[in-house]
Amino acid sequence: MLEHTLSRFFFIFALMMAPLVMSSAMARPADGFADLAERLTPAVVNISTSQKVEQRRSRGPGQPPFDRFFEEFFNQRRGGQAPSQKVSSLGSGFVVDPKGVIITNNHVIEEADEITVTFSDGTKLDAELIGRDPKTDLAVLKVSSKKRLPFVPLGDSDKARVGDWVIAIGNPFGLGGSLSAGIISAINRDINAGPYDSFIQTDAAINRGNSGGPLFNMRGEVIGVNSAIISPSGGSVGIGFSIPSNLAKTVTAQLQSFGETRRGWLGVRIQQVTDELAEGLSLGKARGALVSEISPDGPAEKGGLKVGDVIVRFDGKPVPTMRDLPRIVAETAIDKPVQVEVIRRGKSRMLKIVTGRLEEASTKPAVEKQSQEKTRSDDDESYIGLTLQSLSHENRQRFGLGDDVIGAVIIDVERDSAAFEAGIRPGDVVSEIDQRAVGSAKAAVDALKAAKQSGRNSVLAFIRSGETVRFIAVPLTD
């Protein structure tokens, strides 16, 4: 009876699991990846580069004087130049146009004097650099050939899902065309590699030399450009990252058309919305990008955007977090009118903004703060571990504040206070509390007290620190 019951149980369990087994078998080719490899490998290339660098020799006290004499003599005969040597590096790439357009990583060809592309059949061609973009680590090369070159299509990386099968083909450790298989482990990964991070993470083996190679889906479409790994040993530990093909499409198209990138620009400085800030902004939950500064006469200012607005949708695309906005704006066409949804004082508003073009801005050095010794006065106001003063000629000079700065300056912060833990420091200026301007130390403290008396645990404050402005959720505890 027991054996019959167990047999019946396992029969029912097998029926329940059958769809999962069939689905897995359908997702992964029954014969492996051989057909895909045979079709795709000819379009994947090895990239070798060489760079001339000056060879420096040590001239320590142990070097014989005649050696130094002859070295200096022959350097003068060469025009004063030190001998140089060639440094080589290897990487991968793939052809996306039969006319010879190749995509790879910027770091593969950066500062190269010569670039050579080798195909799987042994054909070697010299490559010309069309353009490169360090911010996304992408580059476009061009080779000339008398015959039509094999190529692979760029797919839609937005359709990639965690768990999908993928294969990577490249040139690991200079061994030549190699294939590895795995799954997508995660999407939209931020690894702090640049301002537009949105990597596909995979456990397919990616090693040194795979950089610039393609990551394929099971339809043979490129959905990523292999770019980075996390590894304590330098070899694959199953954590590799690929640039999404949709980002690569936009960047490489601009590099081919203009030789450079032309990104959309909004003209704002933004910050992450934390749970504490969300409470002060009446958002309900943390989302969007908080506007902390607006460039004068920029697209945002012309479109009516205000400091304190939270951008939650841009050109029809949701903005889940702060780091999503720069990428969305950068991919937007220049001079395009877009609809921007913001939350302002808890209410949704729609703005129409015409995007500008992002230029490389020169970074101004931060104002060096002068001595910040505690200098008390009769005007001091203290609350929740903060001591504030109204702005005057004396403390403007002491803290390096311009005449255009308004608010109350913080001259002391108790180190064991919640305000200190929140990042507030002497020399910071409080310009707004609860999204209302404060023009004196008393006005600032009164606003803090009013917020605490209303039963709130924290209050939103707009803080200026040197050249940086930001919102802080100030805890209302001593």
Q: Give CA–CA dist 303/478, Å, rounded.
A: 41
* Annotated catalytic residue within 137, 203, 412, 434: 137
Inter-residue contact 27 to 218 (CB < 8 Å): yes
* Annotated catalytic residue within 48, 89, 92, 107: 107
Q: Give CA–CA dist 417/262, Å, rounded.
A: 46
* Annotated catalytic residue within 185, 198, 211, 242: 211
Long-range CB pairs of 231-238, under 8 A, 24+ apart, other chains included: 234/208, 235/207, 235/208, 236/180, 236/205, 236/206, 236/207, 238/182, 238/185, 238/203, 238/205
Tokens 């130390």 label which residue? 441
Catalytic residue status for 137: yes
The phi, psi pair for 279, rounded to 5°, reads -65, -45
Catalytic residue status for 211: yes
Catalytic residue status for 4: no
**Which residues carry out catalysis?**
107, 137, 211
